Amino acid sequence: MTYSQAVEYLYNARPPFHMVGAAAYKPGLENTLRLMAHFGNPHEQLRAIHVAGTNGKGSTSHLIAAALQASGLRVGLFTSPHLVSLTERIRINGQPIAETKVAEFIEQNQAFLDEVQPSFFETMTAMAFDYFVREKVDIAVIEVGLGGRLDSTNVLNPVLSVITNIGFDHTEFLGNTLTKIAREKAGIIKPHVPVVIGETHPQTINVFLERARECEAEIFFADECEYLRRCRQRIAPDCELHGNYQEHNLQTAYVALRALRNSSYSLLLTPDAIREGFAHVGSMTGLRGRWETLCEQPLVICDTGHNSHGIQYVARQLKELTNRNIWIVFGMVNDKDTDVVMRLLPIGKRYHYIFTTPDTKRARTAQEMLTLWGKEGIAVDKPEEAFSLAQENAEKDDCIFIGGSNYLVGTAIEFYKNAKIFA
């Protein structure tokens, strides 16, 4: 079986959430436990850090992984979704799983997968855990797919749990209040396993305190840690991630690493190692699409913020790009809080909107976006044509921003792979 055949099998037999949305979601752990048993229960052999949250869990996972790598450890990293290649989801010390390994996994286990009929994400979880155990990682950083309590990654008994923040996303599965969403994400808190909460919120704090008490788990609220205030100036200035919102992720990752101080990793996790990891997180782990510069002239920036909680920080940063005309190429999928996002986007003479259709069946069309916007703008169906139109209109001192959807950012990264031709 070739890699392309394996990907086709995964997408056709079990279409992923990013392609079909709710139809791909299989809550509960039954399938995953069957898969784990088939592969010799790799989840019981992994030392792991488990990361949940509405936004920032990808960046936080990469920051933690980079610091662990800088400490000399062999680190597995499982994240989702991918931006360009499916192999991005499973990495060891920044290197994606080989395409041949993906093909071998599917070929060797296809009969069992056909019998169990797991979801795409359940299959990828099993692939990641099996791969990390076979490759003898020292520790793995595992990002929750959706929610927490019923997510397939929640078969883990980690050495540390992390919940970055709580916001409105996937409300059809997790609930329509912050308290309900917090309860689902608090499901990753395990007995006697320390937990770090990234952002304190009056509607969710008691949910986490109650769950931690039930589990007799030590709990840390990152934004209330006194030692973080003392150390922030030493860890933040050189970080490779530049979005304003990254300050929250930095503090969450830092407190998470400090929370490992009583583990066997405590001697390795020195301030220098943490600083080194944060300073080179992109190159060390392969993280992309976080306020990333794709081209210098005109300045082209992309960001994966895709709901109101994330876009509020993006909008604020766009407003800080003073003395520039900004061309905003924007697209979203149909299960996000588009109306709220639209109200957050900056308005003014220097902002020019080009709405487009991300490459997924869940996408809102460019015309739908323009209609929802209700103001001046252009609708261009194909993302590549939207990027080209922005390039043609932008002066060298202007800025082009691309965002609203992970899938749009992934397409932009591919489009600008040879960005030097535009300079």
- pLDDT for 236 equals 64
pLDDT, residue 48, reads 97
Give the pLDDT confidence score for residue 263 in this predicted structure: 72
The pLDDT confidence band at residue 58, using thresholds 50, 70 and 90, is very high
Q: What is the mean pLDDT of residues 46-64?
A: 95
Please say if the pLDDT value at position 21 is more than 80.
Answer: no
Over the Cα atoms of the chain, what is R_g? 21
Between these two residues, 264 and 28, which has the higher pLDDT value? Answer: 28
The model's pTM:
0.92
pLDDT tens readout for residues 128-148: 999 999 999 999 999 999 889
Q: Domain coordinates of the chain in residue numbers? A: 3-285, 292-422
Averaged confidence pLDDT in the chain: 91
Domain 292-422 has CATH 3.90.1530.10: no
pLDDT at 57 over 50: yes
Class of 3-285 in CATH: alpha beta
231-235, 238-242, 257-261, 418-422: segment of lowest average pLDDT: 418-422
Q: What is the pLDDT of residue 423?
A: 45
Query: Residue 39: is its pLDDT beyond 50?
Result: yes
Domains 3-285 and 292-422 share a fold: no
Cis peptide before 27 (omega within 30 of 0): no
pLDDT 10s digits, 156-208: 999 999 999 988 766 666 877 999 999 999 999 999 999 999 999 999 999 99
Tokens of 369: 């976006």
| Least confident piece of the model among 332-336, 349-353, 356-360 | 332-336
